[in-house]
Amino acid sequence: MNLQTGPIYHLALSGEWLEVTESGEDYRRSTVGRSLEDEGFIHTSFLDQVEDTARAYYRNREVVLLEIDPEQVPSPILVEEIGDGRMFPHIYGPIPLGAVRSAVPVPKRSDGTLDLSEVLPHS
């Protein structure tokens, strides 16, 4: 399936994102506890999928929401089924820092869930 137009999103752990920005190297984390090398690709989401991803994997974590411009990513980006019929974009290579349009810290609610209401673009 082809990539939709517009940005895609990735939830990065704050400490890992800070390390990458300080080093100036490409971003190579796939998901919580897994690297690009471990997984083979970097997990990303379309706008309407970010909240479900946050709820499923990022409770009680310090997180930064990355907005990625797919046109600035030289690696292949494929939209693939994840096993339950849902289709997600996967980046088959590192993300250059220049492809990240914004990196916004995501606040947490008192129960540890992420509050994306103020950081996600409204459609």
DSSP string over 18-87: HHHHHHTPPB-EEETTEEHHHHSSEE-B-GGGHHHHHHHH-TTS-EEEEEE-GGG--S-EEEEE-SSS-E
- The Cβ of residue 60 has, within 10 Å, a number of other Cβ atoms equal to 10
The confidence band for 48, taking pLDDT boundaries of 50, 70 and 90, is: very high
Task: Copy the structure tokens of residue 51.
Answer: 């909240």
C-alpha 18/C-alpha 97 separation (Å) is: 12
10 Å Cβ neighbour count for 123?
6
For residues 10 and 42, is the Cβ–Cβ distance under 8 A?
yes
Higher pLDDT, 4 or 87: 87
CA-wise closest residue to 64 among 24, 105, 31: 105
pLDDT tier, 3 (very low <50, low <70, confident <90, very high otherwise): low
Summarize pLDDT for 73-108 with one digit per residue, the tens.
999 999 999 888 889 999 999 999 999 999 999 999
User: Which structural domains are found in the chain, ordered by start?
Assistant: 8-106 (3.20.170.20)
Share of the chain above pLDDT 70, in %: 95
How many Cα atoms sit within 13 Å of 46 on the Cβ side? 14
For residue 27, which phi and psi values (nearest 5 degrees)?
A: -80, 130
